[in-house]
Amino acid sequence: MSMSELNTSAAITPAAASPVVAATPVTTGADEVNDLILTRLAAVLGRGYVIEHVPAGGSLSLLNYLKIDPSEETVVIATNVASRAAGHEDLLGVRVDEIDTDMLALFAPHAIIARVEEGKPVRTVDPVLPARVVNTIRCVNPRCVTQTEPYLDQVFVLADKNLGEYRCEYCSAAAQF
């Protein structure tokens, strides 16, 4: 299909505000080409989630953080696609019944998620930064007590919601992803 054909594909209506019920087609506000890719991803998946504005090249890491194993789940990835918003980004589709939106917010704070039903993106899901993250990030402060007391959980708390800044619960060191 040529680019012109892609550009004249059917318009996609804006995202529904309410999470209620069925098949109101949604867009996530991305470029038209990316919208089309997401629509195609949704069609391939049938059900699950499509995610855009994933940092370019970060899809595999994100799958790891979400504990989604590509050898066991259906995953579709488009890496390093052009993006008006971010220059380049990844687009990701996963066929799972549930997704950890807290982790997604943590590692891809600008990502937009759409739930897929019957091959179509039907509604967006708004991820919220978790207030507390346990055993996902490791404190890098060499003086932190977690370095010498290995039985302790690695706990980070949301210190600044606006900046998405997390700090170690023990030593207050900033999280490094």
Binding site for another protein (CB under 8 A): 141, 143-149, 151-152, 160, 168-174
In the beta sheet, which residues pair with residue 165? 160
Shortest distance in whole angstroms from residue 160 CB to another protein: 8
Contacts 24+ apart (CB under 8 A), 15-23: 15/114, 15/123, 15/124, 16/122, 16/123, 16/124, 18/123, 19/123, 19/125, 22/117, 22/122, 23/117, 23/118, 23/120, 23/122
Contact 137, 146 (CB under 8 A): no
Shortest distance in whole angstroms from residue 162 CB to another protein: 10
Rank residues 39 and 146 by Cβ distance to another protein and give the closer one: 146
Contact 24, 32 (CB under 8 A): no
Shortest distance in whole angstroms from residue 174 CB to another protein: 8
Rank residues 43 and 173 by Cβ distance to another protein and give the closer one: 173
State the burial class of residue 143 (Cβ atoms within 10 Å of its Cβ: 0-12, 13-18, 19+). exposed
Shortest distance in whole angstroms from residue 149 CB to another protein: 6
Residue 115 to residue 26: CA distance in whole angstroms: 10
Rank residues 68 and 168 by Cβ distance to another protein and give the closer one: 168
Rank residues 15 and 174 by Cβ distance to another protein and give the closer one: 174
Shortest distance in whole angstroms from residue 163 CB to another protein: 9
Rank residues 74 and 147 by Cβ distance to another protein and give the closer one: 147
